Amino acid sequence: MAVRVQCEDFDLGFEMAVLRAESTNIGALVSFSGLVRDDMGDLQTLELEHYPSMTTKALAEIEAEACRRWNLNATLIIHRYGSLKPGEQIMMVAVASRHRKVAFEAADFLMDFLKSRAPFWKKETGIGGAEWVDAKEDDEAFLKRW
Amino acid sequence: MGLLFEILAVLAGAKNVKLEVVYFAWVRERIGVPRETVQTEAETVAALVTELRAREDRYDLVFSDVSVVRVALDQTLSDFDAPLDGVSEVAFFPPMTGG
């Protein structure tokens, strides 16, 4: 069970290998990584601002809730902040459990809560100027699934 | 003068509290500072917002539609009806976009 908030990039393969090595009782390892997407081909940077004294606490609470709901062997959340380029990794979650369905569900849960309960804000700078990314209306509705 | 004023305020029974107020994303940009100390008599977040709006246009503008503003009290997501009793840091920001 770990939460890391960092500016630097991470190695998804390495992190998965670390989780896999933790125990031989793991039958399923699910990961998700979010990337900086450039839809129109004009994105220069994505600036990720966060609320340092709240971020780690909020992520740890989300992770703890997942661990209360499912029987998990291990979880990992890494979320970056700072200035990122198109194609870069923004964050990852990984869930290790004995069986597949639990790992998929818990990863899905973590992502839904990260979207609208982790104190991050994204600002896109492109050729035409800079703009804050609005939260999607669906994001809040997705929380009600759980 | 400041101290005298504070003593008088206490004698008069007015609740006068210092709060750290922090702002993020477009809320921070429109207020113009990332954080400030606010002297307030407000007992709830909503009352604090009313006080701020009365101060200057930039606050009035940011808080003109609170449906697009979220609030956290001491780093925990809260709401506008929440009391400020015992709170030391209030944060205002747009809906979060993590992930």
Please check whether residue B26 touches A, CB under 8 A.
yes
- For the stretch B23-57, pLDDT in tens is 999 999 999 999 999 999 999 999 999 999 999 99
Question: Domain A2-143, CATH 3.40.980.10 — does that match?
Answer: no
- For residue B11, what is the enclosing H or E element? helix B2-11
Instruction: State how far the Cα of A114 lies from the Cα of B69, in Å rounded to an integer.
Output: 18
A contacts of B97 (beta carbons < 8 Å): 115-116, 120-122, 133-135, 139
pLDDT at B11 over 80: no
Percent share of chain A, pLDDT over 70: 100
Domain ranges of chain B: 25-93
Interface contact flag, B75 A57, Cβ < 8 Å: yes
Tens-digit pLDDT profile for residues A52-101: 999 999 999 999 999 999 999 999 999 999 999 999 999 999 999 999 99
Q: Is the Cβ of A89 closer than 8 Å to some Cβ of chain B?
A: no
Q: Is the pLDDT of residue B7 over 90?
A: no
Mean per-residue pLDDT for B9-22? 76
CA geometry: angle B44, B5, B40, nearest 5 deg: 15
Buried b (16+ CB within 10 A) or exposed e, B60-76: eebbeebeebbbbbebe
pLDDT of residue A1: 85
B95, A57: Cβ pair inside 8 Å?
A: no
Asked if the C-beta of A146 comes within 8 angstroms of chain B's C-beta atoms, the answer is no
Domain boundaries, chain A: 2-143
Asked whether the ipTM of the predicted complex exceeds the cut of 0.90, the reply is: yes
pLDDT band of residue A137 (cuts 50, 70, 90) is: confident
